Amino acid sequence: MSKGIEIRNLNLSYGSSKALNDISLDIKEKQVTAFIGPSGCGKSTLLRCINRLNDLIDSVTMDGEIKIDGIDINSTGYDVTTLRRNVGMVFQKSNPFPMSIYENIAYGLKIGGEQNKGKIDHVVEESLKQAALWEEVKNRLNDSAFGLSGGQQQRLCIARAIAIEPTVLLMDEPCSALDPVATAKIEELITTLKDDFTIVIVTHNMQQASRVSDYTAFLFLGDLIEYDETKKIFLNPGKQQTNDYISGRFG
């Protein structure tokens, strides 16, 4: 059984407009993979295929295969909530629930049926520590999550996502709304998290991709142009289009 995420011949369209065109790639376990590309190239769509968040949109049609650790996530017998518990996600705009900091993290556990208060307390603390937020919030766990700063809110969302112990962590431009200091913190966090999680990150920021990721996929207008080790993509891209994009000639 192969570990990691295997994407084979993935096509996706919104109504009549095609968003992803025959995408095939293998995402390695416990590595950081970055999706880069200009706006509208389909990188977020591809990301949302991995936890089937596109299911919610009525007009989406899709074919192809996505396997996580060898299991086809689109097979009829496979429960989408199980998938999503296994594939956490952090969104572009931080989206804490209108609850306390504690409740935000406990939510996923409670949904999963965890009732043991001691266990929940423990997980809340561990996740916050893992997300490097514990020291900042340990004295106000019962305060509203909306009282946190933007960067703290985003780290809270990361803590919330990792609290339910997924194997994959999807990040959709997690730093696009943050200032450089907060961005640096999150990037640091990503590098520590990759010991435990397979991370897929969508980013507009090429420096960020080169800093944090081990592999990079460049998408353009729904096509996967190039996918390789980050070093290679940035230092010695195989395609002209990739080179143009990375050197800032378009996009």
Partner 1 sequence: MKKNGSFYIWLTGCMMALSVLLVSGLIGLVMYYGFATFWQKDVALVQLKNNSYIIGEIKKKEINFNNDLTVQLKTGNRDFYGVDFRWIKDSEIQSISYDKEILHIERDEWGSFYGYPKSFEHKDKKITYNKNNKNEFYNLINSSLKDKSSIAKKINVINKKIGEINFKLSELEKEKRVLSRVNLNENKITKLDEKKLKLLNSYKIEEKKLFENIQILNSTKLVVSDIEGATKLLTLVNIIRFNLPNELTLRGKISLYLSKIWEFLSDKPRESNTEGGVFPAIFGTILMVLIMSIAVLPLGVIAAVYLNEYAKQGKTVALIRICVNNLAGVPSIVFGVFGLGFFIYGIGGSIDTLFYQDNLPSPTYGTGGILWASLTLALLTVPVVIVATEESLNAVSKGIRDGSLALGATKWETLRNIIIPTSLPGILTGLILAISRATGEVAPLMITGVVKLAPSMPLDGYFPYLHLERKFMHLGFHIYDVGFQSPNSEAALPMVFSTALLLILIVIVLNSSAILIRNRLKLKHKG
Residues forming contacts to partner 1 in the complex (CB under 8 A) are 51, 53, 56, 58, 81-85, 88-89, 91, 93, 95-100, 107-108, 111-112, 142-147, 157, 160-161, 164
* 250 class by beta-carbon count within 10 Å (0-12 exposed, 13-18 middle, 19+ buried): exposed
Sequence-separated (6 or more) residues with CB below 8 Å from residue 26:
2, 4, 5, 6, 7
Give the residue with the Cβ less far from partner 1, 5 or 206.
Answer: 5
| Beta strands 215-220 and 32-36, pairing class | parallel
Q: How far is the CB of 214 from partner 1 (least distance, A)?
A: 24
Q: Which helix (H) or strand (E) holds 9?
A: strand 5-14
Q: How far is the CB of 152 from partner 1 (least distance, A)?
A: 14
Give the residue with the Cβ less far from partner 1, 55 or 188.
Answer: 55
Q: How far is the CB of 233 from partner 1 (least distance, A)?
A: 28
DSSP track, 202-215: E-S-HHHHHHH-SE
d(Cα 178, Cα 97) in Å, to the nearest integer? 19
Q: How far is the CB of 229 from partner 1 (least distance, A)?
A: 29
Q: Residue type for 157, please?
A: C
Give the residue with the Cβ less far from partner 1, 40 or 147.
Answer: 147
Q: How far is the CB of 55 from partner 1 (least distance, A)?
A: 9
Among residues 2, 10, 72, which one has the least CA distance to residue 224? Answer: 10
3-state secondary structure of 3: coil
Q: How far is the CB of 4 from partner 1 (least distance, A)?
A: 20
**249's torsion region: left (phi>0), alpha (psi -120 to 50) or beta?**
alpha
Given a contact cutoff of 8 angstroms between Cβ atoms, the answer to whether 107 and 160 are in contact is: yes
Give the residue with the Cβ less far from partner 1, 6 or 172.
Answer: 172
Give the residue with the Cβ less far from partner 1, 88 or 222.
Answer: 88
Give the residue with the Cβ less far from partner 1, 54 or 216.
Answer: 54
Given a contact cutoff of 8 angstroms between Cβ atoms, the answer to whether 172 and 142 are in contact is: no
Give the residue with the Cβ less far from partner 1, 111 or 235.
Answer: 111
Given a contact cutoff of 8 angstroms between Cβ atoms, the answer to whether 156 and 96 are in contact is: yes
Q: How far is the CB of 224 from partner 1 (least distance, A)?
A: 24
